[in-house]
Structure 1
Amino acid sequence: MSGKADPRTAGKGTAPRPRGTRLDRGRGVLGPALELVHTGRAPTRAVLTAQLGVTRATAGAVAAELEALGLIRVDARPGAAAGSQGRPSHRLAVAEDGPVVLAAQVHADGYRAALVGLGGRIVATAPGCETVDADPAKVLSSVVEAGAGLLRATGRRCVGAGLAVPSAVAEPDGLALNPLHLAWPAGAPVRRIFTECVRAAGIPGPAFAGNDVNLAALAEHRHGAGRGARDLLCVATGHRGVGGALVLDGRLHTGSSGLALEVGHLTVNPEGRPCHCGSRGCLDVEADPLALLTAAGRDPGPEVSLLSQAEDLVRRHYDDPSVRAATETLIDRLGLGLAGLVNILNPDRIILGGLHRTLLEADPDRLHAVIADRSLWGGQSGGVPVLPCTLDHNSLVGAAELAWQPVLDDPLAALG
């Protein structure tokens, strides 16, 4: 103690020291408050107050600060619902003209860039490219430049960038260990390359990279079919291969080094096709678009992505006996893999993306029956719910979630 008099209490005897402002007391919940609005779990100030466990006045100060940062909008004059009593609560929503992040996705049949705002809302997208060079630096430079063009055209403030790739991404170095369908070298330092491209383009904020299915699961958990699940299993096949992800107690589970849930290498047909991993009959080669086209006796065409060809075949030609038989075969293989995962992970919800969503829509009863027959708890309480993913471009939205996370953690620090 310096012994120096406090000017706020000088001459006031033993009067108590003034308490901090409501915002001072609520500053620690700015991040949680923003996340509640971001994920749609706090549509009004009354709900925000209850979720945060603070006073109404503190919740109001927090909401006002988030609005001053340009992150949310507070509607002070909402219309009262018919038959409601009491004063209606202020409505909260993400700011439609607020900051954005750059989201990028690379897959076997191309790449795409987008600007994504809070709430998982895609603000603008650049035309997708269908050619993926074997040099990751060329690809990432092109996709970042496309994103930079969107920022110039829209004039939006950018606070970060995220990248989704079809490979396990090892931590802490951000290495793409198995980008098999991209012809990239194993262990490509995609996070470092992406960060360098972002900096070279003059885009502010931190840059991140992650596995595309992990990021799809994160997006669906916050904004889509996985919202409200505690332990969520996501399995999806995009253009090639099969991936999986797990959200445990609301957080993405990536294991000790980012490599958890490589579900594509579960064996579901011991006498099946050779897999890139050296085994045979893995889910990766038995339940992806190429497997469906091959089983149905169709030659893949070069003009349209494998995913589009496979989904079109199921949706438009399911009455064809060869297509129905191929679809049932893939459903059985997928169900076998899901049953094993249910036995190990005990999720409270499964969501399926890509072609797997189409298989579920084609014959949900068959898939549920296979899972119930092969899983330990499948017949009890109706088994685990299996739902289709609901977000368009969920890996892109998930890449954006990576970039939004520092803002959700500490809005004041992230936005300066």
Structure 2
Amino acid sequence: MTGKAGTGATGAVTTRTRLDRGRGALGPALELVHTGRAPTRAVLTAGLGVTRATAGAVAGELEALGLISVDAHPGAAAGAQGRPSHRLEIAGDGPVALAAQVHADGFRAALVGLGGRIVATTPGCEIIDADPAKVLGSVVDAGVELLRESGRRCVGAGLAVPSAVAEPEGLALNPLHLAWPAGAPVREIFARCVRAAGITGPAFAANDINLAALAEHRHGAGRGARDLLCVATGHRGVGGALVLDGRLHTGSSGLALEVGHLTVNPEGRPCHCGSRGCLDVETDPEAFLAAASLATRPESSPLHQANDAIGDRYPADPAVRTAVEALIDRLGLGLAGLVNILNPDRIVLGGLHRTLLDADPERLHAVVADRSLWGRSGQVPVLACTLDHSSLVGAAELAWQPVLDDPLGALT
């Protein structure tokens, strides 16, 4: 009897020790599942560099927290040998982050789960007030209604804005297309709205293209890249972001990579920055519509109008074809300059730039290769963003990060 009791005590201590050791791996384990790199317990074991027993304890703890589900009896693939490993998946009814995006032509709120999965979205609102507090209050209210309908737990909130956001203050320095005051304290305002709505998790704010790059790196076309360059048109203007060695590079104060102000047409259109012919005004939707001699319509955003015109009329319409070729050449010139400076291993394009790439990928690849130092021998892959609402997914990543860093501490 004593021997049995001793064995039981020893077993309990062993289990407790294994779990204590594994708790330090909870965050890395969750990130592996979150980014799709650990679909099974066997892959998780290898990725963490731990024993099968420790990986099992870690997976069990994440399941107990309501973050993942563990299928202990998965079906074996046809012709497979041996017992299949436990399958790990994001919990179908797990917590969500509230994501919000504001742009020149409206705003949208969404609930985003682990794995970058959008659970629910609001219809896009097309009215933007000059007072950021009114806009952010409205978008948070819309998100809270989604939370109420879903019944999900909320871990926090993230906001994407079309402006450089200075750190650590969270100030929107140049929200030119929103008519908001320069230096608006968007993170403070957003956090205040989130708290007033009864959401207890942390609130964050960042530049929309930075967040699109983060989302694409973790869940989209940038997955697996070490040094990823993302360039995209919003509804107006052009932004860029860089992921270096797997981490978003924002510079010393959050203002890195203002690619929109690279000159690509010295005799081109005046830019808001005071220069002329910047990428920002030479390759955005309004530049395309002007080049194609298409009038903007008030009932639809310039981005939607430009995408529709290319989709419906390229290459048959000569004016649209000429405009597409002109914008591709300017975009390629800007990308080549960035390749020369940054040497990324992959480029992803979003917004209208994704549409231009889809329209004539060979032309864009040729311009980048011809204008970069290494030419075709060192050509960098240029891919289209694959996520819908990538800036919203990226905003949710901000809110999920504390959970990824410390699941137990964040949720208990």
| TM-score, normalised via structure 2 length | 0.96
**Residue 71 in structure 1 maps to residue 88 in structure 2:** no
Which residue is 1:374 aligned to?
371
Q: Distance in 2 between matches of 1:96 and 1:334?
A: 41
Letter of the structure 2 residue corresponding to residue 224 of structure 1: G
Distance in 1 (CA, whole Å) between partners of 2:225 and 2:19 is 32
Opposite residue 265 of structure 2, the aligned amino acid is N
**C-alpha distance in structure 2 between counterparts of 1:234 and 1:334, whole Å:** 13
Alignment partners' CA distance in 2, 1:325 and 1:125: 37
Match of 2:111 in 1: 115
Q: Among 224, 232, 252, which residue is 1:256 paired with? A: 252
Give the match for residue 272 of structure 1. Answer: 268
Equivalent residue letter for 1:374: R
Give 2:131's aligned amino acid: D
Deviation digits for residues 254-291 of structure 1, max 9, x if unmatched?
00000001100000011111100010000000000000
Paired position in structure 1 for 2:135? 139
Distance in 2 of aligned mates of 1:290 and 1:146: 29
Question: Where in structure 2 are the equivalents of 1:122-271 lying within 5 Å?
Answer: 122-271=118-267
Match of 1:49 in 2: 45
Among 88, 91, 106, the alignment partner of 1:92 is 88
Which deviations, in whole Å up to 9, do the C-alpha atoms of 1:373-416 show, x marking residues without a partner? 100113215x1000000000000000000000000000011001
Whether 2:316 is the aligned partner of 1:317: answer: no
Aligned to 2:359: 362
Helix, strand or coil: the match of 1:21? Answer: helix
Greater share of helix: 2
Of 378, 381, 392, the match for 1:385: 381
Tell me if 1:302 matches 2:281: no
For residues 390 and 238 of structure 1, the distance between their equivalents in structure 2, rounded to whole angstroms, comes to 15
User: Counterparts of 2:210 and 2:390 in 1: how far apart (Å)?
Assistant: 10
Displacement after TM superposition at 1:46 (Å): 0.1
Per the alignment, residue 3 of structure 2 pairs with none
Q: Does 1:348 align with 2:351?
A: no
Q: Which runs of 4+ in 1 moved over 6 A?
A: none
**AA partner of residue 52 (structure 1):** L
8 Å Cα contact 1:378/1:384 also seen in 2: no
The corresponding residue for 2:335 is: 338
1: CA distance between counterparts of 2:249 and 2:355? 26
Report deviation, 1:127: 1.8
Distance 2:100 2:336 in 1: 33
Q: Distance in 1 between matches of 2:350 and 2:83?
A: 43
Conserved 8 A contact 1:102-1:147: yes
Can you list the C-alpha shifts for 1:339-379, whole angstroms capped at 9, x where unaligned? 00000000000000000000000011110110001001132
2: CA distance, partners of 1:107 / 1:145: 17
List alignment gaps of at least 5 residues for structure 1.
1-10
Return the match for 1:29 from 21, 25, 30.
Answer: 25
Matched AA of 1:334: L
Deviates more, 1:79-88 or 1:45-54: 79-88
- SS state at 2:252 partner: coil
Give the unaligned 5+ runs of structure 2: 1-5
